Amino acid sequence: KASRKFHPDPSVIKVDNVEIGKEGEFTVIAGPCSVESEAQIIDVAQSVKKSGAKMLRGGAFKPRTSPYSFQGLELEGLKLLKEAKEKTGLPIVTEIMSPKMVEIFDKDVDLIQVGARNMQNFDLLKELGNTKKPVLLKRGLSSTIEEWLMSAEYILASGNPNVVLCERGIRTFETYTRNTLDLSAIPAIKRLSHLPVIVDPSHSAGMSWMVEPLSLAAMTVGADGLIVEVHNCPEKAWCDGAQSLDKKQFENMMNKMKAIGVHV
Ligand code: PEP
Ligand code: MN
């Protein structure tokens, strides 16, 4: 079902009032790694909206490497995201970790993110397949394109056609960057599948100064959009500050992309 062979036309996935995958459109999702407070999420939401972002990201349930790191505000974070949506109209994107949460996410979230670490959580994928809610499926840390598309297939096969793929960098021998952004995955996905694919330059690079060049590159190779980390004060971020753009840097990057002429 994910293959272009049986579905030659590109799929356009409708997320609330936004469409991802439309010819000539480039959809930018922006926001902090984690929701930290009401003031923080509303400030960032209003700012990224002004710069041209079409959706707000923010982690509420965080898949942290260490059990001693901040795990997210959980349900309180979800509530704050909903509040930011009420204030700005931006649809919300946030990560799900457990199949038990599907019912709540189906009700409250506009685009449900499956993180790299859960790309092969097949119970979660099947459960999301039982809804019609759009799913943002990130590529696993060390997953091949074939494995990634098979994970998408789980959601589609269970009856949910609304899947957006996200390339977020993979593990290689290189340690300079947090992950190696596999730009070749974009044209590969476009050839193999009808599903839209966006790029996460933040988790690929791990460094904020590299986010803009990678974003411009993603646009050039034909991605349908981006998901970018933006924080009101990156130095004080509870999570992923080093790779987060501040509000001004995000605005500058968006202006550059608009100047290139693609409709952002
Ligand atoms: C995130 O988007 O904050 C995140 C944890 O991403 P990934 O699953 O790609 O590591
Ligand atoms: Mn993050």
pLDDT digits (tens, 9 = 90+) for 172-225: 999 999 999 999 999 999 999 999 999 999 999 999 999 999 999 999 999 999
Q: pLDDT per residue over 42-65, tens digit each?
A: 999 999 999 999 999 999 999 999
82 is a domain residue: yes
Strand ranges (E), the chain: 13-15, 18-20, 27-31, 55-57, 92-96, 111-114, 135-138, 163-167, 197-199, 225-229
Helix (H, G, I), strand (E, B) or coil at 224: coil
18 is a domain residue: no
The number of domains in the chain is 1
Helix (H, G, I), strand (E, B) or coil at 17: coil
Q: Quick check: CB of 190 below 6 Å from ligand 1?
A: no
Q: Quick check: CB of 203 below 6 Å from ligand 1?
A: yes
43 is a domain residue: no
Q: Quick check: CB of 59 below 6 Å from ligand 1?
A: yes
The yes-or-no verdict on residue 98 having pLDDT over 70 is yes
Q: What is the pLDDT of residue 224?
A: 98
Question: In the chain, pLDDT over 90 holds for what percent of residues?
Answer: 97
Q: Are 160 and 132 in contact (CB under 8 A)?
A: yes
14 is a domain residue: no
Index of the ligand 1 atom closest to the CA of residue 116: 8
Index of the ligand 1 atom closest to the CA of residue 169: 9
Q: Quick check: CB of 140 below 6 Å from ligand 1?
A: no
Work out the mean pLDDT of the chain and round it to a whole number.
97
Q: What is the pLDDT of residue 130?
A: 98
β-sheet bridge partners, residue 3: 193
Q: Are 35 and 196 in contact (CB under 8 A)?
A: no
Task: Give the residue, out of 57, 69, 113, 142, with the most ligand 1 atoms within 8 A of its beta carbon, to mutate for a pocket test.
Answer: 113
108 is a domain residue: yes
Q: Quick check: CB of 178 below 6 Å from ligand 1?
A: no
Interatomic CA distance for residues 132 and 156, integer angstroms = 10
Q: What is the CATH number of the domain that holds 86?
A: 3.20.20.70
Q: How many CB atoms lie within 10 A of CB 3?
A: 14
Q: Please tell me the residue having the least CA distance from ligand 1 atom 1.
A: 33
Q: What's the domain range around 175?
A: 72-259
Q: What is the pLDDT of residue 261?
A: 67
5 is a domain residue: no
Q: pTM of this prediction?
A: 0.97
Q: Please tell me the residue having the least CA distance from ligand 1 atom 3.
A: 33
Index of the ligand 1 atom closest to the CA of residue 118: 8
Place of tokens 């789980």: 154
- What average pLDDT does this structure show over 20-24? 94
Q: pLDDT per residue over 114-154, tens digit each?
A: 999 999 999 999 999 999 999 999 999 999 999 999 999 99
**Which amino acid is present at 208?**
S
* Sign, Cα dihedral of 88, 93, 95, 101: positive
Q: What is the pLDDT of residue 262?
A: 66
Look up the ipTM and state it.
0.98
233 is a domain residue: yes
Q: Quick check: CB of 168 below 6 Å from ligand 1?
A: yes
Q: How many CB atoms lie within 10 A of CB 207?
A: 14
The yes-or-no verdict on residue 263 having pLDDT over 90 is no
For residue 179, which of 152, 143, 150, 149 has the smallest C-alpha distance? 143
DSSP per-residue string spanning 131-179: S-S-EEEEPPTT--HHHHHHHHHHHHHTT---EEEEE--B--S--SSSS
**Which amino acid is present at 238?**
W
Q: Please tell me the residue having the least CA distance from ligand 1 atom 6.
A: 115
223 is a domain residue: yes
Q: Quick check: CB of 231 below 6 Å from ligand 1?
A: no
